[in-house]
Structure 1
Amino acid sequence: MLTLCSLNDIPEPGSKGFKFPDKSLFAVRARGEVFVYQNSCPHLGIELNWQEDQFLDYDDSLIQCATHGALFIIESGECIAGPCHGKALKKLGSKIENGYVVLTEEQVQN
């Protein structure tokens, strides 16, 4: 397991990005839960954000790709609008443990 950050490092609602040598991830905190995804739009494979830790739309209700405006459901990563409609972000298993956001899948090498 890999600890990403303290739960307090992610605003509610809000998001936070993480860079690793071989991957870029982000976490979204909403409605008392945290969801972790690979930071790669299914449309072009580029990172979703253009500003640090900014992955949500204007009212923090959907994940938004800054390049073409694709919108994704926070809980599932499913694209509901934009050029990748019907595709989904790659979701990683995570949990909150002792106040920290922890990956439960060995997807990231540190």
Structure 2
Amino acid sequence: MKFLCTGAELPDNSSRGFDLDGRKLLAVRRAGQVYVYLNRCPHRGVPLEWRPNEFLDPSASLIQCATHGALFLIESGECVAGPCAGQSLAALESREDEQGIWVEQHR
């Protein structure tokens, strides 16, 4: 497992981007739970964020691709609207402890 950040660096209903060993990742915290995905839209393979660390739609309830507006469920990464509907973001196994958030290195 590789260290991503402290728990305080990812408040509830927020997102952050990371570059971990050359892989671009995004992490979202919702209702106290952390979800980590590869930062790659399944439609065109482009990064998702609008601006650095901004991956969520205006309501902070869905992950949104800045390129085509595709919407993804935070809890599963499934695309529910847009050109890649039915596809999903690639989830990474993660855990959180008193030190912070950790993510599995290999997929």
Range into which the TM-score falls when normalised by the shorter chain: over 0.9
Q: Distance in 2 between matches of 1:6 and 1:20?
A: 15
CA shift digits 1:48-78 (9 cap, x unpaired)? 0130100000010000001100000000000
Give the structure 1 partner of residue 16 of structure 2.
16
Give the structure 2 partner of residue 87 of structure 1.
87
Q: Percent identity?
A: 49
Give how far 1:45 is off: 0.2
Give the structure 2 partner of residue 55 of structure 1.
55
Give the structure 2 partner of residue 100 of structure 1.
100
Give the structure 2 partner of residue 32 of structure 1.
32
TM-score, reference length from structure 2: 0.95
Q: Which runs of 5+ in 2 are unaligned?
A: none
For 2:37, what is the secondary structure of its paired residue? Answer: strand
Give how far 1:21 is off: 4.5
For 2:8, what is the secondary structure of its paired residue? Answer: helix
Q: Distance in 1 between matches of 2:43 and 2:83?
A: 6
**Does 2:41 match 1:41?**
yes
1:95/1:21 CA distance change after superposition, 3 Å: closer
Q: Which amino acid aligns with 1:57?
A: D
Q: CA RMSD in A?
A: 1.2
Q: Which portions of structure 1, spanning 4 or more consecutive aligned residues, are displaced by more than 6 angstroms?
A: none
- Paired residues in the alignment total 107
Q: Distance in 1 between matches of 2:2 and 2:97?
A: 11
Give how far 1:107 is off: 2.0
